[in-house]
């Protein structure tokens, strides 16, 4: 039987220590109480601006920083790189209002090293159960013991043979050599940076449409499309119901809607936006998109699952494999969170498990040129 000191020692090892940074005393109080009420989470510092956060992080052990954007003296955008310079292993979750301007800044902060974001509800934090639940979930995920203790290694220039080429699934033992007509990408935590890297690295000669479901609120997805246009050099837009799939175009699932496809009797394929219930606690979710694409494109589909918490994309990838599609996944070393890609990798249905910088070239290798 473990002694009380041994139990306390184990609790300390598994404890997630959080610093809350927000200029609003009310917001700090709500976030602090919300997190402190959760088992295994402890708020070790609560400060009103970035300058005080820099001072506090120097003399405290902190695993996760919940960082507001708009603050006096030193705002979140300016504080973020300095916090990461002082503590490279700390996980920073940005908290912003749902305004267009703050959404744009939140996307920029993720390119600067923030691991995630939570949008503040317009009605205030007090009555927003969904905000508090999302915040707790993300703090737990990023502050998990394995995430704290695992040393992040730089992605190798080539995938390891054992991890890079898993055996084909028994459900799809013969490798499909049909050239895909559409590329589907699913992502969540760390997704905006990963998407930018993948899309930037795809050869411009790729002509197939690319459909992307990234877990994001509605305000963010339109901005994500704008960012992806700049990063990729391809037209990227938030998907609209009824629009036809066009060659070389990137379609981003809009926040609050699942993105599906429908074959037209007269030929061609159009996008359908679905207002059904969330799946895997997400809306948009990756699974509905993949099921719909698998039904309509069968073996002429290439699925890519990037970094993200949870297992959204697993069931959809299984449906895609059953139809003869091919699946790629991001490797553990280059993922912010190896939840979604890890789920499909561990299910044994991936053709390849690749570091982030090799996924774009792999897409072109498999799907390059005109779909036949």
Active site positions, annotated: 188, 215, 312
Token pair belonging to 216: 């994001």
CA–CA separation, 76 and 13 (whole Å): 29
The CA–CA distances, whole Å, from 360 to 127, 131, 328 equal: 43, 34, 11
Q: Rg (Cα) of the chain, in Å, rounded?
A: 21
Q: Which two tokens stand for residue 220?
A: 């963010």
Task: Give the integer Cα–Cα distance in Å for 297 and 325.
Answer: 8
Q: Which residues does residue 330 pair with via DSSP β-bridges, in sequence order?
A: 354
Determine the number of helices (DSSP H) and then strands (DSSP E) in the chain.
Answer: 14, 14
Q: What are phi and psi for residue 318, nearest 5 degrees?
A: -60, -40
Secondary structure in 3-state letters for 145-158 = HHHHHCCCCCCCCC
Q: What is the distance of C-alpha 38 from the center of its chain?
A: 24
CA distance 364 to 372: 14
């Amino acid at each position: 039987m473990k002694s009380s000191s041994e139990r306390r020692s184990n609790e300390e090892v598994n404890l997630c220590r959080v610093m809350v940074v927000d200029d609003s005393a009310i917001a700090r109080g709500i976030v602090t109480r919300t997190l402190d009420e959760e088992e295994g989470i402890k708020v070790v510092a609560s400060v009103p601006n970035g300058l005080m956060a820099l001072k506090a992080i120097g003399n405290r052990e902190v695993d996760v920083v919940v960082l507001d954007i708009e603050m006096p003296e030193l705002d979140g955008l300016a504080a973020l790189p300095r916090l990461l310079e002082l503590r490279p292993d700390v996980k920073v979750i940005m908290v912003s209002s749902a305004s267009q301007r703050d959404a744009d800044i939140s996307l920029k902060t993720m390119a600067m090293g923030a691991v995630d974001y939570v949008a503040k509800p317009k009605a205030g934090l007090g009555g927003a159960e969904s905000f508090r639940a999302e915040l707790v979930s993300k703090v737990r995920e990023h502050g998990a013991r394995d995430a704290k203790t695992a040393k992040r290694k730089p992605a190798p220039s080539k995938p390891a043979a054992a991890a890079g080429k898993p055996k084909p699934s028994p459900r799809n033992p013969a490798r499909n050599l049909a050239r895909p007509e559409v590329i589907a990408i699913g992502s969540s935590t760390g997704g905006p940076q990963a998407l930018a890297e993948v899309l930037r690295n795809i050869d411009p000669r790729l002509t197939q449409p690319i459909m992307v479901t990234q877990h994001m609120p509605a305000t963010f997805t339109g901005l994500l499309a704008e960012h992806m246009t700049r990063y990729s050099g391809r037209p990227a837009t938030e998907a609209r119901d009824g629009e036809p799939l066009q060659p070389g175009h990137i379609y981003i699932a809009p926040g609050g809607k699942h993105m599906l496809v429908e074959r037209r009797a007269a030929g061609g394929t159009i996008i359908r936006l679905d207002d059904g219930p969330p799946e895997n606690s997400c809306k948009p979710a990756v699974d509905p998109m993949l099921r719909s694409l698998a039904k309509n494109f069968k073996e002429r589909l290439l699925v890519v699952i990037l970094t993200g918490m949870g297992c959204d994309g697993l069931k959809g990838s299984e449906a895609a494999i059953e139809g003869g599609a091919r699946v790629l996944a991001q490797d553990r070393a280059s993922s912010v969170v190896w939840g979604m890609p890890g789920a499909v990798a561990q299910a044994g249905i991936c053709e390849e498990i690749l570091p982030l910088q090799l996924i774009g070239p792999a897409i072109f290798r498999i799907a390059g040129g005109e779909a036949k």
